[in-house]
Amino acid sequence: MLISEFHIVPATPDMLPDILALEEACFSSPWTRKMLEAELTDNQFAHFLVARQREESVAQAEPTIIGYHCFWIVFEELRLMNLAVRESMRRRGVGGALVTEALRLGLEQAVTRAVLEVRASNDSARSLYTHLGFLQVGCRPRYYMNPIEDAVLMEMHPLVLSSGS
C-alpha cells in the first residue's frame, strides 16, 4: 500500500465504536469503552491518533479506521500507551506511521525521551519499535495478565525520526 492510501488524524469521540472494535480484535485484555473514552476526553496528557483509509479505497461496509495510537506527552517524556492496526492491513507501514507521527508531535513539544512496555512474546511490535530506533532497556517480570507475561521496556533517547518518515 502506498502511504497516500491512508491518512492520520486526531481521534474524536464519534470514532469510539470503531476503535473499541479494533481494540477487542487485537488484545487479550482489551481496554474497555470507558478506558478509551477517558483517554479521548478526560486525560490532559493523552493524545489519540487514528489511521483512516481514504474513501475511494474503502470497500463498502468496511470500517474506515484501520489503526490507532494512544500516547501521553508528560512534560519531556512521551509514553506509548496503546497501538493497534487492523490485521488485514498490517505490514503496510500503518503502525510505523502512527508512531512516527507521535514522535513528530513529541519533538514539537520538546520531548526528549519516548518509552513503552511491550509483551515479551510480541515479536511484531518489538520489531516495529526496534525498526523505528527504540532500544530495549529493561524487563518487568510477570507484568501482564491474561496470559501472565513479562514486559520488555523500550526507550528512545533522544528522539529521532527514522529516515524516510
**x/- site string to ligand COA, residues 122 to 151, per CB under 6 A?**
xxxx-xx--x--------------------
> By CB under 6 A, is residue 26 in contact with ligand COA?
yes
Q: Which of 85, 103, 115, 152 binds ligand COA (CB under 6 A)?
A: 85
Is residue 30 packed enough to be buried (19+ CB in 10 Å), middle (13-18) or exposed (0-12)?
A: middle
Question: What is the spatial distance between Cα 121 and Cα 64, in angstroms, rounded to a whole number?
Answer: 29
**x/- site string to ligand COA, residues 34 to 73, per CB under 6 A?**
----------------------------------------
Closer residue to ligand COA, CB minimum distance, 96 or 106: 96
Find the part of the chain contacting ligand COA (CB under 6 A) among 29-37, 53-61, 81-89, 144-152. 81-89
> By CB under 6 A, is residue 103 in contact with ligand COA?
no
Query: Residue 158: CB partners within 8 Å, gap ≥ 6?
Result: 112, 113
Is residue 23 packed enough to be buried (19+ CB in 10 Å), middle (13-18) or exposed (0-12)?
A: buried
Coil, strand or helix: which one is 76? Answer: coil
Residue of this chain nearest to ligand COA (CB atom): 95
Q: Which amino acid is at 143?
A: Y
